[in-house]
Amino acid sequence: TAAIQAAINASRRVVIPAGIYAVSATLVLNSGNQSLIGDGGHLLRTQILSSATSGPVIQVKARSPRIEALAITATAGRRAASTTTGHGILMGGDDTSAGAAVIISRQWLHDVQVSNQPTDGIHSRFGSEMSEYHQVTVQDCLRHGFVFDDGTTSGCTNIGIGPFHWSVFNCRAFECGGNGWMIGAPGQTNAPQNLYAYNIQALGCAYDSSKRVVDYLAAFYCNGLIVENGDFEDQQYANSTTSGGNSR
């Protein structure tokens, strides 16, 4: 953990060769334009394996991050942990003060797979202006797959600006316990705006009623939305523990 974090602190671009890398605390991208680049996410060639029982595996606290060709997973102990902060990737600053709601804009994710997290797969809170996700899969996470919100769903006391002007292409939420896609939230302060989504899926999600915010595979509480070729199906797969969820 310390070695990878030292490399991140020392360089704008960290290339992680093929292999399995065990970490026990959150890796933080805390300066603008930092990159983590592996050797293959969906091929599982570069895996970040976290044993931390709270906190995200990776947290981005500054603009223009690039995360590419990485698989992010968890030990059995982490997956079993009771935590509301156990995301795979958290895009957003700490919830410590009114000034903490930093806009983490220009996010770029490509060939990323996140699995077995105790909370959300990828959670982007506050502004995510002009950001893009390409070929990102979130699977077997205990709460939601993808979350974009102003801090409402994440339970922040520091509610900030909602996400706006971002796009997702060929991304999948697979068999997560809560909503596959959670864009905004009931009772939110600032709704997300202007999402373009092409070829997105939510398959076998929303199977755990205790993990859902609403009873849907995909829930969109936003202003300005285009979804092309959306595939939302509630068939249950081998790893599901209970049935349920709507395809509406």
Q: What integer best gives the mean pLDDT of the chain?
A: 91
Q: For residue 238, what pLDDT is reported? A: 47
Are the C-beta atoms of residues 175 and 238 closer than 8 Å to each other? no
pLDDT in tens, 32-86: 899 999 999 999 999 999 999 999 999 999 999 999 999 999 999 999 999 999 9
pLDDT in tens, 190-240: 999 999 999 999 998 888 888 888 888 899 999 999 999 999 987 665 454
Q: For residue 95, what pLDDT is reported? A: 84
Using pLDDT thresholds of 50, 70 and 90, give the confidence band for residue 242: very low
Q: For residue 86, what pLDDT is reported? A: 97
At 193, the amino acid letter reads: Q
- Could you tell me the pTM of the whole model? 0.94
Look at residue 101 and tell me whether its pLDDT is greater than 90: no
